[in-house]
Amino acid sequence: MAASSVTQLTPGNHRYASLIPSLPTRPPSVLLLSSSGPLSSSPSSSSLSSSLASPRSLRVEFKTSWKRKPKPKALRVDCSAKEPLKVMISGAPASGKGTQCQMIVEKYGLVHISTGDLLRAEVSQGTEIGKKAKEYMDNGMLVPDDIVTDMVISRLSQRDVKEKGWLLDGFPRSPSQAQSLERIGIRPDIYIVLDVPDEILIDRCVGRRLDPATGKIYHLKYFPPETEEVSARLITRSDDTQEKVKSRLETHKRNAEAALPTYLDLLKRVDGNRPKEIIFEEIDSLLQQVYNAVNNKNLDEIKGKLVTNLKVTASNKDNWRGIPTRLNNIPHSKEIREYFYYDVLQATWKAVEDKRSRLKVEINIPELNPEMDVYRIGTLMELVRTLALSFADDGKRVKVCVQGSMGEGALAGMPLQLAGSRKILEFMDWGDHGAKGTFINIGSIGAREVDEQDDIFILVAPQNAVGNCIIDDLKAMTDAAGNRPVILVNPRLKDLPGSSGIMQTMGRDKRLEYAASFENCYCFRLLYYAGTQYPIMGALRMTYPYRYELFKRVDEPSGKEKYVVIATFPEKPTGDEINDAFQGKPRNKEKTTSGLWYLYGVEVRFGT
């Protein structure tokens, strides 16, 4: 049943709708549609490699110049999606908080900010703040908020903290301190609380001893001194008497519980009465989850700044804005190109996240259609770069592959469409953070190009040529890749004549079966009158995991245009189904030989 929804682009909600009006056209009595270029689809399900490289900050810059150092342009998008962690950790005295902080810093490289260290530095320097703080500390009391807050905020504003992230230890410990941070927009990604029973805490504190000669802390029960000489000079710290410990515990609990509501949505409680290694395993797992969540969200926000509301989420497809208008205006504007880049990107990400490993992107806007004289290899390279940098920005190692010469001797050659594309990839701008050569590498198609450290493979327009077939090299590569995702961008895998002029019939079924094993994660194809490439009559679009949508382009009296959804399909529609939808015929209606339909035939081509 044809859908009745309308996707309309208006100046109020779409920047592409205000271009020059198109000339009116007179529709023929019988509509015959042609889809430029091949289409194929076959579902495939495999598992995704879970190996990830260490996090790295990357920058994605969309530019149309392929010079090694292009000049900056007015519109520039920095996709440095890797945000450093911001962690708060709270725990009573002797809860093991210091030990866990040390282990966190060693693994994540965060700047450890301890209010105790900040205060002790002031005390040792004999500053006015230090003298006031010492009075409170010597009596087992907490230092007032206004003294501590200014020191903490000043430290958080320094450059190393902003670049590496921070681990805030022992702060905030009161509602007023928490609100002071909230007012200036300082908020953690996670708030960790170490829970230890009071009797254990008291035992840990009262048994502690200080070596005044070395500053080393011992414990009579858990960490006794090495020699009698060291034991003889140990002293009890002034704040480690049983009375002061109990007082500090009560004060800590009272203030910590009052500050908790500010971070209730970020709170994670960890049992601190276990071996330190077991405790850190749990904390490490929590930090990994938070790190991934924060950076995935940040990546989406950055992309959203370029194209507002572009992302099509699995739960809400209404965010998609519709098809840009005036697609026959060549060259395409930068905004239109980037619109499609991110349309492809979102669909590909969803498919990879759903563990689809044999994927295919088919997008034939005029600049990406090799059958049109406006084809631009640079647009294809920009699309590939967008995909590669996005996955690399997620910590994955990406291999971008372009097929080399096929055949031997005088018969060696490569498709004209790909001539020079390897050089373009080598010299194009891959950002300022060393992505190329580390997280992104350039290769050719074949099993030898598959390295153990590679996570994802993006293949640029793999295609057969007259006299040569890419299928064997392609299959060898996918076999070597195993369950790691292999993404074909605009493949052309249909069988072509052999060098002798005879169709390569041997093994043809196997080749076609292999070509069909790649699942469409994205498909966009413009539809024209049969045998023409103008005007655009409609479009076929599919983004994983949604259905195929058939749009009809409609000229409006104002001279503008819109795309109307006239049908949806669970699978890729045939040429007959497309024509039936445009003519308003019921589906599966038996065809007859009457009229012009059978005389002209249908030129919609599906297959590889």
Tens digits of residue pLDDT in 399-458: 999 887 655 554 555 565 666 677 777 777 877 667 788 889 998 888 998 999 899 999
* More confident call, 573 vs 317: 573
pLDDT at 583 exceeding the cut of 90: no
Q: Could you give the angle at the alpha carbon of 135 between the alpha carbons of 133 and 139, nearest 5°?
A: 115
pLDDT tens-digit series, residues 246-296: 888 888 888 777 778 888 888 899 999 999 999 999 999 899 888 887 766
Q: How far apart are CA 295 and CA 550, in angstroms?
A: 35
| Higher pLDDT pick, 61 / 379 | 379
Kindly state whether residues 360 and 441 are assigned to the same domain: yes
Q: Is the pLDDT of residue 53 over 80?
A: no
| Residue 390 shares a structural domain with residue 473 | yes
Task: Looking at the structure, tell me whether residues 300 and 249 fall in a common domain.
Answer: no
Task: Say if residues 186 and 156 touch (Cβ distance below 8 Å).
Answer: yes
Nearest to 366 by CA among 357, 358, 375: 375
Residue-wise pLDDT tens digits, 473-495: 889 999 999 999 999 998 888 76
Report which secondary-structure segment, H or E, holds 128.
Answer: helix 128-138
Structural domain boundaries enclosing 526: 6-81+296-600
Q: How would you label 180-213 residue by residue, b for 16+ Cβ within 10 Å and e otherwise?
A: bbeeeebebbbbbbbebeeeebbbbbbbbbbeee
> Which pair of structure tokens corresponds to residue 412?
């060696």
Query: Letter for the amino acid at 329?
Result: N
Indicate whether 267 and 330 sit together in one domain.
no
In the block, residue with structure tokens 């030129």: 603
Distance CA 417, CA 239 (A): 77
Domain final residue pick, 268, 294, 320: 294
- Cβ density class 331-357: b for 16+ within 10 Å, e for less: ebeeebbbbbbbbbbbbbbbbbeeebb
- The type of residue at 445 is I
SS3 call for 323: coil
Let me know if 173 is a catalytic residue: yes
What pTM was computed for the model?
0.48
Whether residue 370 has a cis bond before it, omega within 30° of 0: no
Q: Among residues of the chain, what percentage have pLDDT more than 90?
A: 18
Flag whether 483 is in a domain.
Answer: yes
Beta strands in 255-396 (DSSP E): 267-271, 358-364
Assess whether 419 and 523 both reside in one domain.
yes
Residue 1 lies in a domain: no
Split into its structural domains, the chain has a count of 2
CA dihedral 445, 419, 604, 360 (to 10 degrees): 30
Please tell me whether residues 576 and 462 are part of one structural domain: yes
Q: Is residue 607 part of a domain?
A: no
Tell the burial category of 417 from Cβ atoms under 10 Å away from its Cβ (0-12, 13-18, 19+).
Answer: middle
Let me know: does 22 contact 556? Beta carbons within 8 Å: no
Same domain, 303 and 285: no
302 shares its domain with 287: no
Q: Which of 237, 276, 510, 587 is an active site residue? A: 237
Instruction: Report the distance separating Cα 550 and Cα 3, nearest Å.
Output: 9
The answer to whether residues 467 and 538 belong to one domain is yes
Would residue 175 count as lying in a domain? yes
Q: Which residue's entry shows tokens 């580390």?
A: 438
Residue ending a domain, choose from 252, 270, 294: 294
The token duo for 31 is 């509509």
pLDDT digit string (tens) for 384-397? 999 998 898 888 89
Q: Which among 59, 204, 208, 562 is annotated as catalytic?
A: 208
**Looking at the domain assignment, is residue 556 inside a domain?**
yes
Domain assignment present for residue 558? The answer is yes
- Catalytic annotation present for 237: yes
Single-letter amino acid, residue 292? N
Place of tokens 């209606």: 589
Q: Answer yes or no: is 33 within a domain.
A: yes
Burial class from Cβ neighbours inside 10 Å (0-12, 13-18, 19+) for residue 260 reads middle
Question: What whole-number distance in Å separates Cα of residue 54 and Cα of residue 288?
Answer: 12
For residues 62 and 99, membership in a common domain is answered with no
* Last-in-domain residue among 241, 260, 294: 294
Q: Both 112 and 239 in a single domain?
A: yes
Distance (Å, whole) CA 33 – CA 36? 10
pLDDT of 306 over the 50 cut: no
Indicate which residue of 173, 204, 326, 484 is catalytic: 173
Same-domain check for residues 29 and 111: no
- The residue annotated as part of the active site, out of 63, 155, 244, 248, is 248
CATH number at residue 253: 3.40.50.300
- Residue 14 domain-assigned (yes or no): yes
The per-residue pLDDT for 487 is 95
Strand pairing category for 190-195 and 208-210: unpaired
Q: Which of 63, 86, 97, 511 is catalytic?
A: 97
Q: Which residues contact 151 (CB under 8 A, 6 or more apart)?
A: 115, 118, 119, 122, 129
Find the radius of gyration of the CA atoms of the chain: 32
Span 517-555, pLDDT tens digits: 899 999 999 888 776 777 888 999 999 988 999 999 888
Active-site annotation holds for 248 = yes
Tell me how far apart the terminal alpha carbons of the chain are, to the nearest angstrom. Answer: 28
Helix (H) or strand (E) segment spanning residue 520: strand 519-529
The residue that leads in pLDDT, 135 or 414, is 135
Alpha carbon 229 to chain centroid distance? 59
